[in-house]
Amino acid sequence: MISIQGKGVSTGIAVGPIYFYRRADSTVRRYEVSDRDAEWARFKAAQEKAIAELGELAEKARAEAGDEAAMLFETHQIMVKDMDYEEAIEAGIKESGLNAEAAVSDAGEMQAAAFAAMDDDYFKARAADVKDISTRLVGILLGVVQGGIDSDVPVILASDDLAPSETVQLDKSKILGFITSGGSGSSHTAILARTMGIPAIIGVGDKLKAEYEGREVIIDGSTGAIALDPDDATRAQLMKKRADLLKRQALLNELKGKPNETKDGQRIRVYCNIGSPSDVHTVLENDGGGVGLFRSEFLYLECDDYPTEDYQFEAYKKVLSDMGDKEVVIRTLDIGADKQIDYFNLPKEENPAMGNRALRICLTRPEIFKTQLRALYRASAYGHLCIMFPMVTSVWEVREAKKMCELVKKELTAEGKPYSEDVQVGIMIETPAAAVISDRLAKEVDFFSCGTNDLTQYTLACDRQNNDLGRFFNAHHPAVLRLLKLVCDNAHKNGIWVGICGELGADLELTETFLSIGIDELSVSPRSVLPLRQKIRETNARAVHEGCLAALASDVTPL
């Protein structure tokens, strides 16, 4: 047995074969083939596989986001079989003797350029579609693994770390748990694991070796312990712990349907953080009271070009419809920093966490912002929508964003398109600037939601993605907690509610503190709902109130 120690960031025990994430290398090499008919047959096989893959994606999109979303992949199916496109590839192979990858690449570039040169906006947009289908065909010809996992059985996925654009492509049905050599507790791998309710361990460094591929491993997401080829005693111990955890979950399930209410009658809303319409079932399964954070940027990350208004509308409509009369807070586009998207063509920045990101991009590229807001307001007719703007630092930013909301509503009214008049507009408090002027910001919006991951990062000058900072990144720091209390006080003075949607919301060591300072809502990963409910119901809020406030006033963390 080999023992490896990392840092657990998502609890649970998982056992299975270890599998190393495959990153795609789609570099096209050009060469002349000797058997042109055989090369043509190779292309035709890839074409059939692409059509089948696109059909599967269309069905998945239809189930998760509706018919409009599925149409994109159905259109790509048609384009893969387009006669002009296919003839250009055939000429490249049979007349020029090119390998199939090069012939597809050349044909794709030629057709994309032709579409891009057209005057009609609809046909101009087809240039991106041609590039997308060509990339898919080249990937199949090169043997690139779609989604990074080529396994018939579920696996413990190992990697250095995963970018947001990679996490959205994963086949989540094949993942039992995560191990990463780098990363942090607020990395997207960790967030995905918590949303999925599976164990995850980060920060194992160079202890992961390629020769471990396929060998059995047991991971403990609470302690960060990894047992490769476990001996009988270790297996028995960890399997017993796993059984105990399952029993505890069964007991927690008895809390479903019960209020999030302290012993002395104080109530708090417990909502869920999600990144996809498909995550809604885990919210309902875990009895979440609503969605406190839908990370809409993941719709952009899973597309190869700007998602259309209709594509976004179907996704938002799906979430709102599935949640029924429960509140859904959708955060507007939050890219930049660690979430980069190629087609946005953002310039390279020395310090992207403090650069052009989130609302700053929306306000400087209003055409993107307007498209999203139109989709959001159209979807509001199907549920209880709240819109939330991220990365706010000043009042003027909020006012500009609200102006765009009013413009969009006027347009939809003129077009006769329905939307709800009861849409709350709020902001994320994730910068010290927003916290300090929260008294002024509270007069502009209907609610605050505190993003404690970034608030901690900016307050302590600690990169949230840098796991080497260790104890320096302390979300329990008095400065962070005092800012949260300031925000809470200013919100309530102005008659608006305040929540927490960062990972700190699920920290049971701080639940009493949050109850004491008057937080109205906690939004957490779906699997954290019932443990949090249990903690709330075990607490006497009045008994801990004075002690927590006194600790906040001192120089120590109130723990």
For the annotated catalytic residues, the residue numbers are: 188, 501
Contacts by residues 206-210 (CB-CB < 8 Å, ≥ 24 positions apart): 206/181, 207/4, 207/6, 207/181, 208/4, 208/20, 208/158, 208/179, 208/181, 210/20
Helix (H) and strand (E) counts in the chain: 21, 16
> Which amino acid would we find at residue 205?
G
Count the neighbouring beta carbons within 10 Å of the beta carbon of residue 318: 22
Q: CA 175, CA 147: separation in Å to the nearest integer?
A: 11
Instruction: Output b/e per residue, 446-477; b: 16+ Cβ within 10 A.
Output: bbbbbbbbbbbbbbbebbbbebeeeeebebbb
> Which amino acid would we find at residue 118?
M
Q: CA 316, CA 376: separation in Å to the nearest integer?
A: 7
Angular region, 301: left φ>0, alpha ψ -120 to 50, beta rest: alpha
DSSP state of 109: H
Q: CA nearest 132: which of 352, 366, 302, 328?
A: 302
Is there a contact between 541 and 516 (Cβ–Cβ < 8 Å)?
Answer: yes
List the structure tokens of 556: 């120590």
**Helical segments of 464-559, H only:** 478-493, 511-517, 529-538, 541-553
Is there a contact between 255 and 537 (Cβ–Cβ < 8 Å)?
Answer: yes
Q: Is 350 helix (H, G, I), strand (E, B) or coil?
A: coil
Query: What DSSP assignment string belongs to 188-252?
Result: HHHHHHHHHT--EEE--GGG--GGGTT-EEEEETTTTEEEES--HHHHHHHHHHHHHHHHHHHHH
Q: CA 2, CA 211: separation in Å to the nearest integer?
A: 13
| Alpha carbon separation from 120 to 115, 199, 558 (Å, rounded) | 9, 50, 62
